[in-house]
A and B are shown apart, each in its own frame.
Chain A
Amino acid sequence: MDGSSTLSDLRVIECADGVAGPYCGKLLADLGAEVVKVEPPGGDSSRRFGPFPGDRPHLERSGQFLYLNSNKRGVTLDLEHAAGVEVLTRLAADADVLILDRPRSQLEALGIDVDALREANEGLVVTVLTPYGFTGPYKDWAGNAHTVYQMSGMGRETPSGYVTDPEHEPPLSPGNPQADYLTGVTAATSTMVAITYRRVYGGGQLVDVSGVEANTNHVRMNWNMFAYNPDLLGGREKAAFGQVIECKDGHIFFAPYGLDHWWMSLRRMMGDPEWARDEVYLTGPGRTANVNNIEPHVRAWALNHTRDELYWMSIENKVPCFPVYSASEMRASPQLEARGFFIEVEHPEAGSFVQPGAPVQQTGSRWAIDRPAPRLGEHTDEVLSELGYSHDAIVALFRDGAIQG
């Protein structure tokens, strides 16, 4: 890809399905890494998840797939077929990074030997993303974003501070595969750790990214409190120090109780009502102990204001408050518009559409979508030719069903 991009010296083979591995590949690809995506003959599962234009399922029009796989070239290999595995082996021999997402037992059943791949290419970084770890007691368990999020302890924290009837309100998972995206970010970061290591000391390595660990990393406060004061861990009903609360025309996330100056600002915003002048509320511990007395007043006050009024009042008074946006409301945010966050992408099958842009603005590193997501098998021929397969050999592989395009 573009030689002026930060990661354009990296060649990545992404043999991973769904969200976690592909998001890892996307973070690298959008900064210039050359990523070849290996798909099975039926295509990546995210081709079947949508959202689809007009709700009509179509392998080339799934929003999730198109978003995750732009900037990548696509080859279709049947890894159940020895010749398919041979192509993957040759791809890995010439790569800097290989992204995998199967347990060792499944890789070995296919004839993919991670250790042999590393011996054949000593600079290779192999990043393996699995639900519960490449090693350990659950290494062969099946999993997805839902089971990973729940096992990690995050389910117990969601929703936070809302559970009024723990018997009938189960731990919740996010409304999208957030747990997998998070594993993808952790894998991309860890891959860059290994690339940095290689730059300094030479040699690749195996990077083992567990979905449960990537997610449980976010309840680290619980871990740390547990380590120091196990008796302090509460149940799911605990009151949070920030809450989603209703206002005149929607919801805000409001967290004005933590610091003394936030509290004084809130009093000012509310017109310093009599009830709020109670001295016991002047300190953090006082507010924490009395949150059930404070909250109903604040909720009643918020109901008289619009979301925008509360947001701007809070910006002016330096109090943490954000509007709870739906997708369309976020799309209309003047802030995201001013920063040029959304970008338009053109795809030959799905037309043009707006999608999220760079996750981080890095002034010194080019971030761009230079090509749309590949159609199934679009670059099989091209990539195999580059690998040195002759025209006849490629035709034979097609005939055997080891590759598709």
Chain B
Amino acid sequence: MQNKPLDGLRVTDFGWILSIPHATAWLGTLGADVVRVETEVRLDLIRVQGMNRGIDGVLGLNRSGAFNGLNYSKRGVTLNLQKPEGRDLALRLVEQSDIVTENFSTGVIERLGLGYEELCKVRPDLIMLSGSPVGLTGPEAMATGWGPTTLAYTGLPWITGYRDGPPAAYGGAYPDFMIGVQMVFSILVALHERERTGKGQHIDLSMAETVAAMTPEPLLDHEFNGRDATRDGNRHPVFAPQGVYRTAGDDAWIAISIETDEQWAALIDAMGSPAWALDRTLATAGGRRTRHDEVDEGITAWTHRHDTHGLAGLLQSVGIPAAPSWGPRDLAADGLLRERGFLTPIGHTEVGEREVAGLPSRFSAMPELAYGPAPMLGEHNREVFCDLLGVPEEEYERLCADGVIG
């Protein structure tokens, strides 16, 4: 058995949708006993909404690829927290937990009687993480949203988009999963502090603030120069040219970024020294930036005749940062992520083993990350309530019948 750094720790996970489920998948894979608390009264959107396309043509609450590929390495229970007995069971679970995570709308966890101060009464050294769009305090604390909506607030979409076009929305549910990774950081820091001082803490993560801390450039430009930077497609303030260029094939593209004049000279060579590129005014990044449209046209006239991967290899062989602009089909076909262990088979009680996205880092002391299955709805109710919390059998049956468990 491989050692796991969070062995012996327990997490009560009230989180849902995307960010916290990703964070607690890290914690579970790293050894913590994560008990995900769901409720049949209000199902996780990812089990039921558009992302649940079913498996093998069959829909079902346990057959959402999006959910199962996100919620691995956890146990799952169902509990109606609005009932007093549900809250009591939750408190008993928290009493045996080191960490609690939640991302209900601001104020909800307190209304349920499960706020940080209440939980500290049963578990004084508790580490609790609350995730929210713009933070738990402040005049806009009640704002509703998830990652992509909150992103708008941070100034990042404002500087992203085609020239003369609107601010761009980001895909991939960005930044929800990055937020999940940042949550794991904050929790591990809190554990480090608890080890040092014996004290727990409440972590108040505002998604807007986390992303704003990763977007300092436009803010500092405004600080220094009193202006708001605008959108300029794929262009870069220093590197030129930089772009995503059409290659041969259906919707096929290559990303190229020329960081130095030497790389520009190498690109001219690779293109077979076309006359337009030999123009001396293009020898410097400044000159290329002034005539970027023209340069892009010249490059596209060359790239569009070539296969993406071959071209990337050719450019790399002469030291130019270039890479295919890939979608999931291309990445899956390439094998890079499988070879590196990012794509990995993970089991599931109902649908069996499927290849999904694992954790994004490789650890030499844990060469094989041990992923556990995602829970079916309420799969571990008996195990958690009877075996862990010691609820007697008849009592368990009654709680199920009364809709407390469920």
Contact = CB atoms under 8 A, between A and B. Distances in A.
12 contacts: A137-B334, A141-B323, A151-B255, A167-B246, A189-B184, A203-B365, A224-B357, A255-B145, A326-B222, A335-B138, A335-B208, A356-B219
B44 to A, nearest CB: 12
A233 interface: yes
Contacts of B321: 141-144, 146-147
Contacts of A228: 53-55, 65, 68-69, 354
A363 B204 contact: yes
Given A151-B323, A160-B168, A359-B182, A338 B139 contact: yes
B112 interface: no
Contacts of B22: 220
A320 interface: yes
Which 4 pairs of residues, A with B, have the shortest CB-CB distance? A157-B171, A364-B201, A224-B69, A175-B159
A25 interface: no
Nearest to B243: A170
A371 interface: no
Interface string A209-232: 110111011111111111111101
B205 A159 contact: no
A35 interface: no
Given A327-B229, A330-B154, A320 B149 contact: yes
Nearest to B134: A335
A175 B160 contact: yes
B214 A315 contact: no
Interface in B170-197: 170-178, 181-182, 184-186, 188-193, 195-196
B361 A365 contact: no
Interface string A173-186: 11110100110011
Contacts of A150: 244, 253, 255, 323-326
A315 B228 CA distance: 27
A268 interface: no
B363 A354 contact: no
B212 interface: yes
Given A241-B50, A360-B203, A154 B148 contact: no
Identify whether the interface residues of A are mostly helix, strand, loop, or mixed: mixed
A324 B158 contact: yes
A6 to B, nearest CB: 4
Interface in A233-287: 233, 235-236, 240-244, 246, 251-255, 258-259, 284-285
B231 interface: yes
| Of listed A64, A149, A175, A334, residue having the most chain B CB within 10 A | A175
A136 to B, nearest CB: 5
Interface stretch (A45-53, A76-84, A86-94, A381-389): A45-53
Contact of A197 (B3, B153, B224, B225): B3
Contact of A361 (B70, B205, B212, B356): B205
Nearest to A68: B216
B199 interface: yes
Nearest to B178: A182
B310 interface: no
A358 B206 CA distance: 10
Nearest to A344: B223
A374 interface: no
B320 interface: yes
